[in-house]
Structure 1
Amino acid sequence: MTGRRARHRTCLWCGRPVPEVGTGRRRRYCRQSCRQRAYEQRNSTRRAGLPEDAVVLTAAEVEALAERAFRLRCAAEDVATAVAEDADRTELERLCADLLELARDAERLR
C-alpha cells in the first residue's frame, strides 16, 4: 500500500463485504445477482423518470431499515447507560461488540 489505508468495501446493493480479487477494476457487488438487481433498479428508475441516484425501496425494506436503526439506537443507549453507571470492562466490551454488530447490520439498505 502507498500510504493509504485499506478500505473495507461493501456491496452497493446488499451491503455485504465485497471480496478483493487480483488486478483490474475493483468489484462493486458481492455477487452477480446483486449486480443484476442494481441494473434492474437503474433501468426501472430511468423509465419512471426518477433521478439517476434515486433509491427505490419497498415498504417492507423501509420498515426493516427503520427497525435496524431503532435497534442500533437502543444499543448505543445501553452503552451510554453502562458508562454512566461505571460498568466493568467485561460488560462494556460485550455491549460495544453488540453495538458494532448492529451498526454493521444497519449499514445495509436491503
Structure 2
Amino acid sequence: MVDSERGRRRKYCKRSCRQRAYEQRTLVEGTSIPADAIILSPAEAEDLGDRMYLLRCAAEDLSTAIGERADQESLTRLAEELLTLAHEAERLR
C-alpha cells in the first residue's frame, strides 16, 4: 500500500482552501444562510455575471457561424474563444 492511500482522503487541495472553507463556515454560523452557500461580494457577483454574458455571446457567435457555414478556421477560432471564456467563467474568485 502506498502512503498516499492510507487514511482518509484529503477534503481540501491546500491549506489555504481549508482556511477559506473555515472562514465561510464561521461567517454563516448562526444565520439563515445555508452552510454550503457561496458568498460573493457585489463586485464578485457582477464580475461573474459579466463572464456568463461573455460566455453566452461567444456561444451565440459560434452557433451563428455554424448556421452561416463559416470556414473551418473561423469555427476553430470561435470554439477556442468559447473554451477560454468557459474556463474563465468557472472561477468564482
Bin the TM-score by the shorter chain: 0.7 to 0.9
The Cα of 1:88 is off from its aligned counterpart by 0.7
Report the TM-score, using the length of structure 2 for normalisation.
Answer: 0.81
Aligned to 1:73: 56
Aligned to 1:107: 90
Report the TM-score, using the length of structure 1 for normalisation.
Answer: 0.70
1:13-69 deviations in whole A, cap 9, x for unaligned? xxxxxxxxx54524533x422321121011111233422122211101100100000
Q: Give the structure with higher Rg (CA).
A: 2
Matched, 1:28 2:39: no
Which has the larger displacement, 58-67 or 33-42?
33-42
Which has the larger displacement, 68-77 or 36-45?
36-45
Matched, 1:61 2:44: yes
Indicate how the Cα distance of structure 1 residues 44 and 101 shifts in structure 2: closer, same or farther if over 3 A, else same.
same
Indicate how the Cα distance of structure 1 residues 74 and 51 shifts in structure 2: closer, same or farther if over 3 A, else same.
same
**What stretches of structure 1 of length at least 5 have no aligned partner?**
1-21
The Cα of 1:70 is off from its aligned counterpart by 0.4
SS of residue paired to 1:54: coil
Matched, 1:52 2:35: yes
After superposition, where does 1:82-97 map in structure 2 within 5 Å? 82-97=65-80
More helix by share: 2
